[in-house]
Structure 1
């Protein structure tokens, strides 16, 4: 379904997000996803007060919509109208784990209807009893088809305007559904997702659990975001998703057992729908804490890269470079005396080229330097991830024969762990955090390679070279 024209209601407010830089006296906004420079007319400039635009007529409505679409701004939660939770039906795919299901259903408010779809659980009777005890509708499937198919079967029975997909190992924070539902005041929002945090068990968190608490694959951070390829938040997990039924069509791709949530998000984004990540809404996930289960799950996530590369070849690239930024990275990886001077020259030349295109800017070199500087940092970060995560089998093999590659891999592994430890400030010492970080990358990268070799395609491992900045 094609999304309707945007018509944000009066009072709807958006705030420029934290990555946006303001230049030229407020007339130029630098940022967004992908990065750009947006120039504002004087009339539009007067509509922004303290980085906030509040819809109060046609002009502010158009500006707010444009800022949202460019990924330059996020809705102000307090400005969004309340919505009736009775308009939501919960769909819960289940394979065993009746105790976890009981815990989830207990956390759901009494207003919404609940549909439990049993995907051929070995203990179906126990699952049925839990569903009945909470007044949920129970739909048994004749054969196991995976969570995507189970969610789709439940979606067929939804008669409300909105559906919440919730996995059984989730516990809802009070108010999470209501907080997400407010985002649908924007008629172009198809999905909204909360922040997923770790749920400690009775024994507390071990070192793996504490690492997951800081760096879970499901926790996408503390800042709101537009969700789409190229955005700082490029996808959201199906552990908990709130969706507009009219936008979802048939729902998830039924043949996918991994990556079906990423596929759904990217398909909706390609159709022109908006997807919101709202960290002010929270749910709790029962993280795996045994090394075997944890590493197997990371490898499983990595295995989704190949099927996603078949459906979304341009979006799955593990890194995106401009030709000039690739030159900067190549010069630094050479580790010669000339490496740093050459990298600086390439960066300076790119800055000059971009500045020549910024004819509307009062200070084109300053704006251009901000854009290319961010590009250099992003390229270096992506290169480290390639060496220690996506390409580690090749990098390790090459390290046996090349001292320079060995140094690059060692530096990337240490620097990446140190930066992430400083950024996340986990309840875990740097040594065990670094060990967990590397094991995480080894397992995920191993899953990517397994899927690529099984699918006989390396597309999921190839970076994308974008020739337009």
Structure 2
């Protein structure tokens, strides 16, 4: 799916992008989704200037904006261009035995349609009356067919170009729809999703943890949605789609991770998918310990069928041979482990520098990149040890002092780092580090248990295997 970036659209570089000087008067941009190095010609560098923002006004800036947007190096800047209006949107809500009062009250009155799919509720009459009062229509499944089938029924019934999926346990916040519609001024964008935040009031230790660490909340920064990147999926709790691109819809054979499957299929088909945190939709998180842990384990069971359908798209780790070797040496915890890991990283940097002839200082840049790569690999290994592969770590702990040290160090360091990076995700909530660390470890144990159960049930270890990074190089801008 392709399209021309509209004139007047402003794009801004992602805050994580690093600009490296080139030998030809141009520059190289490091970042994107997944990370890559994109070289800009001198003309493209001049068009971008010394700042981080570009306004589309001519063929050069239009092509440059398309490259930056499609590589995840930049995002549309606010205010976004005028896109479709609410009248072009049908809201589809799957529901079973849940009240919809607060969700329907938050919807704008000028929508193009409202379709509520009753997926086998025990008492359908009150729901039908409520939806009728909201000028919507109800599709009734006499027996539950699952959320994917319910959403597909609503998708087929919609008559507008755009469909907004909203789950019954969410409440859109003020001004939520306009930023999503603005992204669809770009004809290449097929799906855009808001940020899912905690529905106030937030209470209890689990509630505070979920407010800053929910798997539905993908953070405060905009992103291109790309497998194996910072934002690799978006939840179907809230997503706006182009109807004709998404049809026939969700895979009804999946009862978990059907939203991730849809995202992966759309990406494979060439559609651009965007995450817009300026749009906020509140979610009523599960906070009772039993329900919370069960939901985490349930999410884990989705990895195996996803790995079977989309090879290499949901790995526990993405490691190059060099970083894998360095991490393995560090895990041995010998006196020579750190210097040997440093030598491995230096060799990798030297080899990388030969592939960066357009940079002004290829060796220094390569050493920096190799160091960042090693740091990211260490973090991935620590995370996988405690989340995806904790059963293996648990088997080793009773018999190995080094395994015990590695697990304890990873559990504390990764947990505190996670708290530090996410502690301000919800300004109204300030989780303390100890509670966050304990909840994070329980979250990982539950998810990992579900992951291994799903792998055993599907007789496949694909979701447990690390993979190597893709080989990517960017074109000249």
TM range (shorter): over 0.9
Q: Deviations over 1:243-279 (max 9, x none)?
A: 0112112011111110011011111111111110000
Distance 1:376 1:129 in 2: 59
Does 2:181 align with 1:181? yes
Which of 455, 458, 464 is equivalent to 1:455? 458
Are 1:428 and 2:438 counterparts? no
Deviation at residue 65 of structure 1 after TM alignment: 0.2
**TM-score normalised per structure 1:** 0.96
Residue 379 of structure 2 is aligned to residue 378 of structure 1: no
Aligned to 1:126: 126
Compare relative contact order (CA 8 Å, sep 6+) and give the higher one, 1 or 2.
2
Superposition pairs of residues 33-182 of structure 1, within 5 angstroms = 33-49=33-49, 50-98=51-99, 101-112=100-111, 113-182=113-182
Q: Which residue pairs with 1:364 in the alignment?
A: 362
Aligned to 2:17: 20
Equivalences for residues 311-322 of structure 1 within 5 A: 311-322=309-320
* Residues 416 and 433, structure 2, Cα contact 8 Å, conserved in 1: yes
Cα offsets for 1:380-413 (capped at 9, x unmatched): 1110111100011111111111111111111111
Give a deviation string over 1:226-256, Cα, whole Å, max 9, x none: 0011221000000000001121120111111
Residue deviations 1:290-328 (CA, integer Å, cap 9, x gap): 001111111111111011011112101111000000011
1:208 aligns to what SS in structure 2? Answer: helix
> In structure 2, how many angstroms separate the alpha carbons of the residues matched to 1:400 and 1:187?
57
SS of 1:394's partner is: helix
1:346-379 deviations in Å (ceiling 9; x for gaps): 0000000000111111110122123222211211
Query: Structure 1: where are the runs of 5+ without partners?
Result: none
Partner Cα separation in structure 2 for residue 374 and residue 126 of structure 1:
56
For residue 82 of structure 1, report the CA deviation from its aligned partner.
4.4
Greater than 6 Å deviation, 4+ residue runs: none
Distance 2:106 2:80 in 1: 26
1:214 aligned to 2:212? Answer: yes
Q: Tell me how far apart the structure 2 counterparts of residues 36 and 467 of structure 1 sit (CA, whole Å).
A: 10
Give the 5 Å matches for 1:199-348: 199-201=199-201, 204-348=202-346
Q: Quote the Cα distance in structure 1 between the aligned partners of 2:430 and 2:327.
A: 33
Structure 2 stretches lacking a partner, 5+ long:
424-428, 473-477
Separation of aligned partners in 2, 1:149 and 1:79? 33
The answer for the alignment partner of 1:191 in structure 2 is 191
Equivalent in the alignment of 2:468: 465
- Pairing 1:415–2:416 present: no
Asked whether the 8 Å contact 2:83–2:184 carries over to 1, the reply is no
**Separation in 2, partners of 1:64, 1:108:** 33
Residue-pair matches, total: 462
Q: 1:304 to 1:105 in 2, by over 3 A?
A: same
Q: Is the 8 A contact 1:323 1:466 kept in 2?
A: no
Structure 1 range deviating more: 455-464 or 28-37: 28-37
- Return the alpha-carbon distance in structure 2 between the equivalents of residues 55 and 144 of structure 1: 49
1-structure distance, mates of 2:199, 2:257: 23
Q: Is contact 2:197-2:280 (8 Å) kept?
A: yes
Task: Give the TM-score, by structure 2 length.
Answer: 0.95
Structure 2 vs 1, CA of residues 311 and 467 (structure 1 numbering), >3 Å: closer, same or farther? Answer: closer
Distance 1:133 1:379 in 2: 54
* Greater displacement, 252-261 / 424-433: 424-433
Give, in whole Å, the separation in 1 of the partners of 2:189 and 2:45. 26
Is the Cα–Cα contact under 8 Å of residues 17 and 72 in structure 1 kept in the other structure?
Answer: yes
RMSD, aligned α-carbons: 1.3
